[in-house]
Structure 1
Amino acid sequence: MLRRNFSPLFLILALAGFFLGTAPVQAHDVLIGSTPEDGAELDQAPAEAVLTFSAAPLDVSPQAVLQKDGETIETEPVTLSGNDVILPLPELEAGSYTIIYSVVSSDGHRIDGTTSFSVTIGAQTAEETTTEAATTEASPSEAETTAPAPAETVETSDSEDSAVGWIRWAGIIIVVLGGFVIVSRMLRNR
C-alpha cells in the first residue's frame, strides 16, 4: 500500500534527477589569446589580427570590427582557420585600436568581447624610417629584434551562463513543489 501511494513521487524525483542532475555542462568557448596581445604596444602595425579561441568557432557569421577612437575602420571580412579568427588589417597609422568580435562558439551560443593594441609607428612614419635606415648604416648592437610575447588569456563574460543557472534552479523548484503537491494530495486521500 505504501509502495502504491509513493510511486508518483519516485517517478517525479527520478525524472528530476535525470533531467537536472545529468544535464551536460555547457561551457562556452573563450578567447584564449590574440595576436597582437590584448594591450600590446607595437612599433610596427601588423598585417592581420588573430583571435584564438578554446575551440573552433562555428562558421556562422563571424564578425570582428576594428575601431580607432570609436570610429570603425574598413577591413576585409574575417576568415576562420581551426580555432583562429583572422582579421586582415589595412595599413594603420599610429594610435590605439580596439577589435570588437562576435562569434558563435562550438556549443552554439554567441560570444562577444574586445581586445586592444596600440601602434607607435604608423604606416607613413614606417616608410620614412625605412628611407632613413637605407641611407645610414646601423651597427649590429643598434639592431634589436623583439620576440613576440606569449598569448595572454582574455576572459569574456557571458550573461547566458547565469540565465542557464536560473532556468535550471527554476526547474528544480517546480519539480520539488510538484512533488509536495502530489504527496499532500495522496496523504489527504488516505
Structure 2
Amino acid sequence: MKAKVVLTSLTAVVVALLLAFAGLLPASGPAAAHDQISGTDPADGATVAQAPEEVALTFTGNPQGIGSEVQVMDTEGTDWATGEVKIVDNQAIQLLKPGAPAGDYTVNWRVVSADAHPIEGSFTFTATGGSVASAVPSQPIEEVAPAPAENVSDGGFPWGITAMIVVLIGLVVAIAVTARKRLGSTRDDDVV
C-alpha cells in the first residue's frame, strides 16, 4: 500500500512540474512574413524592343546579400546571366551577357529574404530584338554590404526549451526508477 502512495505522490509531483513548465513556455507570436517580390524589370509577361542589359527584381523588404541567384534562360536553355547578383536596397540586379538573341526568356530567381528565409520564383518576358554589343548597366550599381545578422527571433528552433524538456524527462525517469526500487523493496518486505 505504501508503494502505491509513493508512486501516486511521485506522479502528482511530475504532473505538477510539467504543468508549471508549460506555464513558462512563451506563447507563439504571429509568424514573420517573408519578403515578397513586388515588381520586375522587365515586367512579368512584358515584350521589350531588345534583350535588356540587366534584369531587376524589387522586393517588399531588403534581401540579404548572400545566397542570391538569378538565371535568365532563353528557349534553347542558355543562361544569359553574368556575374554576381547585386543587392541594392530592396532590389536584386542581374547583368546579362552581351549578344542575347531575340526571343522568349524565363527568369528564375532565388534570394534570401530579410528574415533569413530563402524565397524563389520565376517570371517571363519576350525580346523582339537582340541585345546591344556591350552589357554596361545604365546606371552604376553600388554594391551594398549585407547587413549584420541580428538576433531576432523568427520562430527558429527553441534549443533552450528542448534542453529543459530533456532535463524534465531525465527527472521523470530518475523518479520512476527510484519509485520502482522502493516498490520492489516494499513488495519484498510484504512477502516476509
TM-score where L is the length of structure 2:
0.55
Distance in 2, Cα, partners of 1:88 & 1:123: 12
Give matches, 1:13-28, under 5 Å.
13-16=22-25, 18=26, 21-28=27-34
The residue type equivalent to 2:46 in the other structure is: A
**For the structure 1 residues 83 and 74, does the alpha-carbon distance in structure 2 shift closer, same or farther, using more than 3 Å as the test?**
closer
Aligned-residue offset at 1:57: 0.8
The residue type equivalent to 1:11 in the other structure is: A
Give matches, 1:3-22, under 5 Å.
7-16=16-25, 18=26, 21-22=27-28
Match of 2:120 among 112, 125, 133: 112
Counterpart in the other structure of 1:121: 129
Aligned 8 A contact 2:81 2:95 in 1: no
The residue type equivalent to 1:71 in the other structure is: T
- Share of identical aligned residues, percent? 32
Distance in 1, Cα, partners of 2:83 & 2:99: 12
Give matches, 1:82-97, under 5 Å.
82-89=89-96, 90-97=98-105
Distance in 2, Cα, partners of 1:74 & 1:30: 22
Aligned-residue offset at 1:74: 4.7
**For the structure 1 residues 9 and 74, does the alpha-carbon distance in structure 2 shift closer, same or farther, using more than 3 Å as the test?**
closer
Aligned-residue offset at 1:43: 2.0
Distance in 2, Cα, partners of 1:74 & 1:116: 14
The residue type equivalent to 1:84 in the other structure is: Q
Task: Name the SS of the counterpart of 1:113 in structure 2.
Answer: strand
Counterpart in the other structure of 1:71: 78
Aligned-residue offset at 1:116: 1.3
The residue type equivalent to 1:43 in the other structure is: A
Task: Name the SS of the counterpart of 1:66 in structure 2.
Answer: strand
Structure 2 residues not aligned, in runs of 5+? 1-11, 133-154, 177-192
Aligned-residue offset at 1:59: 1.1
Aligned 8 A contact 1:68 1:95 in 2: yes
Distance in 1, Cα, partners of 2:116 & 2:63: 9
Task: Name the SS of the counterpart of 1:52 in structure 2.
Answer: strand
Does 2:53 match 1:47? yes
The residue type equivalent to 1:8 in the other structure is: L
Q: Which has the larger radius of gyration?
A: 2
Structure 1 residues not aligned, in runs of 5+? 125-163, 186-190
Counterpart in the other structure of 1:145: none
Give a deviation string over 1:83-115, Cα, whole Å, max 9, x none: 000111234321011111111111111112111
Q: Which 4+ residue blocks in structure 1 deviate beyond 3 angstroms?
A: 4-7
RMSD across aligned positions (CA): 3.4
Aligned 8 A contact 1:67 1:99 in 2: yes
Aligned length: 130
Aligned-residue offset at 1:47: 2.0
The residue type equivalent to 1:93 in the other structure is: P
Aligned 8 A contact 1:97 1:118 in 2: yes
Counterpart in the other structure of 2:106: 98
The residue type equivalent to 1:56 in the other structure is: N
